Amino acid sequence: MPQAASTLTRPEREPRTGSDFAPLLRTVKSQGLLERRTGWYAVGILANLVALSAVITGMALLGGSWWVLLLALPLAVLSARTAFFGHDAGHAQISGDRRTAKAVGLLHSNLLLGMSYAWWNDKHNRHHANPNHVDKDPDVGVGAMVWTQKQAAQREGFARWLTRNQARLFFPMLLLEGIALKIYGFQDLKRQPARERAVEGALLLLHLGGYLTLLLTTMSVPTAIVFALLHHALFGLHLGMTFAPNHKGMEMPDPESEERWGHLKRQVLTSRNVRGGLLTDWFLGGLNYQIEHHLFPNMPRPHLRLVQPLVRAHCRELGIPYTETGLVDSYRQALTHMHEVGEPLRAG
């Protein structure tokens, strides 16, 4: 039985002498950009918890009216903030201490969201190690959608129809992602060692029981059902809009190119940044600096903006393409790639 990872990424090791990444890493370390920002995260987590409490209070006050459905939107947005803190805890961005990072991750993922922290870590670990690699990155494996024409050619029946239309169905399908993430967590429990399974399972059940109790004690059954569906649909859409721009439509390394690429090229060529200001940073949880995040996965979120000029200049010096675009154009590029993947099936 494989051991579930407690944190996603260990602090960067000094790369071998002569690597393209080594000079950049030395510069980043010398400027203190890998040092933790515990205070920044503490304030952010506290603010998020207070905001969640305010929304829950509003649900109790408005639960007798259909107006309570308006609170599904802020709850979905705050759920995404919660997911971002769980993500950062898994990457050791919040704390370098394993137990502390795991406690923060379990609180945000399992207890507050009903998502399995161990499942997410295992999946996300493999993604970071080999981004956009068809055989190694679970994010581009065959699922509801596919990411290469080779994958598309193997689809049959309803899956084939889905692939033909996956670009226009992408955002509607994200409405199901919030519920799917909870299901994946429960399914993953059987993979986990007994002790991990007990802790994760108990927290997932606590979340589910607490969520149902909140809805059914503040709302009528019909209102509670609609609220839960709306909340999870908006939550899934928000997360999907956050992760979709990051890699879809970027380079997909094969075994031959993988051997030529070092850490720098592997992470830069497969990632896309999203240009924007503080609102974009907040909405996307800092993951709009996807290149920097992949190069330095345990770098605190507020430092990603600061390291970007260093990374961009280093890539320019080496002649490595550095991809950055606006939010809307990032979705256009991702959807264009999905449309092209299904093209042979439409032509046939």
Residue 22 lies in a domain: no
Structure confidence by residue, pLDDT tens digits, 294-322: 999 999 999 999 999 999 999 999 999 99
Residue 119 lies in a domain: yes
Residue 262 lies in a domain: yes
Range of the domain at 89: 37-347
pLDDT score for 260: 75
Reduced to 3 states, what is the DSSP secondary structure of residue 19?
A: coil
pLDDT score for 229: 98
Residue 27 lies in a domain: no
Give the alpha-carbon dihedral of 179, 111, 228, 287, to 10 degrees: -60
The one-digit pLDDT tens for each residue of the chain (348 residues) are: 344 444 444 444 445 445 899 999 999 999 999 999 999 999 999 999 999 999 999 999 999 999 999 999 999 999 999 999 999 999 999 999 999 999 999 999 999 999 999 999 999 999 999 999 988 999 998 989 999 999 999 999 999 999 999 999 999 999 999 999 999 999 999 999 999 999 999 999 999 999 999 999 999 999 999 999 999 999 999 999 999 889 999 999 876 666 678 899 999 999 999 998 999 999 999 999 999 999 999 999 999 999 999 999 999 999 999 999 999 999 999 999 999 999 999 876
Residue 21 lies in a domain: no
Residue 79 lies in a domain: yes
Residue 194 parent element (H or E): helix 194-218
Residue 12 lies in a domain: no
8 A C-beta contact, residue 11 and residue 102: no
Q: What is the pTM of this model?
A: 0.91
8 A C-beta contact, residue 320 and residue 312: no
pLDDT score for 258: 63
| CA–CA separation, 295 and 12 (whole Å) | 9
pLDDT score for 257: 65
Domain count, the chain: 1
Residue 228 lies in a domain: yes
